[in-house]
Structure 1
Amino acid sequence: MLRSKLMHFDLSVGAYSAFVPDIIQLARKRLSSNVCIAAVHMFVEAWLDSSYQKVINSADIITPDGKPLTWALRLLYGIRQDRVAGSDILPELLRECEKQQLTVFFYGGSQHLLDETSKFLSNQYPALKIAGLYSPPFRELTESENIEIVKKINDVAPNIVIVILGCPKQEKWSAYMKGKIHSVMVAVGGALPIVIGIQKRAPQWMQRSGLEWVHRLSVEPRRLFKRYAVTNTLFVYIIFREYLRRKIFRNRIHYDSM
């Protein structure tokens, strides 16, 4: 899949319809690989932290989940890119796995979330082969625990591991496990509770207008207020500053050539 730079941040680019087939291709080959579902928060975190930037840019596929990311691509580089949201591609990915008899392992989240996920999958995807669901301790794992988890997952040999640890932990975990777990790891985070119906997704008009974050903030204000207040402001600042820099540079070249 083609990639484009959004300043410091890599993004996979192409038609929305190409993303799930590309993930399935990795899964069928059982390549140890990882997929990031990139939002504005991740873009800003990568701008602030070069080590996290390397984690994101090392992923095999980086989908532009946030609508503002697609706007920024167009504003700065003239690239028209479909939004590829985790809440949209996860159901399609599960459906395709069911159809092609590929196995899926769910790693992360609370036990309650995984129990609800299991019920949802049995109703909506009855033929989907579930290799396992595992809720790890909510703390940093020891090296021996990580080794045990690698063995646990590789022993059941899933084609895909759905990672639900939240940003930025899930991206770091997937990058760390690349080369160890012999599956494609797809870090979906907050998309899973929406897909299985625990959380309600924003209306279509909010999704299209890039305001889905407002809906999420209304659902989880205590957890998300600080993140969005800081992150969204920084994102606008970073992109607008880059836009002005590029515009001034182009004007300078124009005047110098006259």
Structure 2
Amino acid sequence: MKRNVLGVLVDATRHDNALDAVLAAARERRPFGVTALAVHGVMTGVLDREHGARLNSFDLVTPDGQPVRWALNLLHRAALTEPVCGPDLTLHVLQAAADEGIPVYLYGSTRQTLDLLMLNLQNRLPALKIAGHEPSKFRMTRPGEDVEIADRIAGSGARIVLVGLGCPRQEVFVHAMRPLLPMPLLAVGAAFDFHAGNLRRPPVWMRKAGLEWLWRLGAEPRRLWRRYLLLNPHYLALLAAQWTRLRPLSPPAPVTDRPTVFPA
């Protein structure tokens, strides 16, 4: 069930519910847009109302990280005991896909990362069927290229697409491609890098304490310092304002218009 977190609609869901929803869409061959939003993802929707409306059109938005889970519990008494993080959801979906023989498509990141990812997945999940893979083009699509990408994915026989383009590019991509593909598309953030071995996840105690951002900041300070040192306090201030009702934050209406040119 969707709940308002700073104007972004996040689902108060658990891993098993999220997995069931993805698998149901894959079995029924219907469009289904999914993303896992941490603080940075939520704040992209807060600071850009157009993007916020885009996020609010997703079928499933999971709380990625403790601060978003805490917000759901604080504001809406969701009683969630754990977040539903992109890397974890990715692994759950891939394990289930392997068990059921559902082919998957990997879109995004670099060729080198995809090669490492596929090697690790084949070692960990030998029954997994990878129908196709395609690295990011690191540019905007050309007019008509969206149909070409959709044709390649559909023609591969895939029934689930994992998209690793980084926030917010991946959400723009999923939103644009959703009407073209009869299958779930999951924006999974840095999951490709984690499962390829390019990045290490923090210890469990740091994740439980909501300090994953500190671990990521220490690993990539030059790239991430603005995201965490500026956005995190802003998030907390807005969260306090919503909690005390000093600043009502109404969600922008979901958008259904699909862009024909978008990051790929």
TM-score by length of 2: 0.89
Residue 30 of structure 1 corresponds to: 29
Two-structure CA RMSD over aligned residues (Å): 1.5
Structure 1 residue 68 corresponds to structure 2 residue 90: no
Specify the SS of the correspondent of 1:34: strand
- Answering whether residue 53 of structure 2 is matched by residue 54 of structure 1, we say yes
Q: Percent identity?
A: 33
Unaligned runs of 5+ in 1: 248-258
Partner in structure 2 of residue 119 of structure 1: 119
Q: Does 1:77 align with 2:89?
A: no
Deviates more, 1:133-142 or 1:8-17: 8-17
Richer in helix (by share): 1
Is the CA contact (8 Å cut-off) linking 1:157 and 1:182 kept in structure 2? no
Between 122-131 and 139-148, the greater mean CA deviation after superposition: 139-148
Q: Verify the 8 A CA contact 1:157 1:183 in the aligned structure 2.
A: no
CA positional deviation for 1:146: 2.1
What are the equivalent positions in structure 2 for 1:87-106 lying under 5 Å apart?
Answer: 87-106=87-106
Give the distance between the partners of 1:31 and 1:157, measured in 2 at CA. 14
Distance in 2 between the 1:138 and 1:161 partners?
18
Counterpart of 2:3 in structure 1 is: 4
Answer 1 or 2: higher relative contact order, Cα 8 Å, separation at least 6.
2
1:172-251 → structure 2 map (5 Å cutoff): 172-245=172-245
Counterparts of 2:109 and 2:70, CA distance in 1: 31
Residue deviations 1:83-120 (CA, integer Å, cap 9, x gap): 11112121111110000000100001100011111111
Instruction: Give the counterpart letter for 2:233 in structure 1.
Output: T
1:123-157 CA-to-partner distances (Å, cap 9, x unmatched) read 11111111101013211110132221111111113
The secondary structure found in structure 1 opposite 2:3 is: strand
Q: CA deviation at 1:79?
A: 2.2
Cα offset, 1:246, TM superposition: 5.7
Q: Distance in 1 between matches of 2:14 and 2:166?
A: 26
The separation in 1 between residues aligned to 2:108 and 2:62, in whole angstroms, is: 20
Q: Which amino acid aligns with 1:46?
A: G
Structure 1 residue 226 displacement after superposition? 1.1
Secondary structure of 1:132 counterpart? strand
Q: Structure 2: state its 5+ residue gaps.
A: 248-264
- How far the C-alpha of 1:32 sits from its partner, in A, is 1.4
Q: Is the 8 A contact 2:6 2:238 kept in 1?
A: no
What stretches of structure 1 move > 6 A for 4+ residues in a row?
Answer: none
Question: What code does the residue aligned with 2:186 have?
Answer: V
Are the equivalent residues in 2 in contact too, given 1:30–1:183 (CA < 8 A)?
yes
Pairwise CA distance, 1:223: 1.0
Instruction: Choose 15-24 or 232-241, whichever is displaced more.
Output: 15-24
Equivalent position amino acid for 1:186 in 2: L
Q: Secondary structure at the match of 2:180?
A: coil
Deviations 1:18-68 (A, max 9, x none): 211211111111111210111111111111111111111111111101210
Which whole-Å CA distance do the structure 2 matches of 1:121 and 1:104 have between them? 12
Asked if 2 retains the 8 angstrom alpha-carbon contact of 1:36 and 1:63, the reply is yes
With 11-20 and 85-94 compared, the bigger mean Cα shift is at: 11-20
Question: Relative to structure 2, which stretch is displaced further, 166-175 or 29-38?
Answer: 29-38
Whichever of the two has the greater Rg, that structure is 1
- Between 1:87-96 and 1:199-208, the stretch displaced more is 87-96
Is 190-199 or 219-228 further displaced after alignment? Answer: 190-199
User: What is the total number of aligned residue pairs between the two structures?
Assistant: 246
Q: How far does residue 245 in structure 1 lie from its aligned partner after superposition?
A: 2.7
Note if contact 2:104-2:158 (Cα within 8 Å) is conserved in structure 1: yes
2: CA distance, partners of 1:80 / 1:16: 14
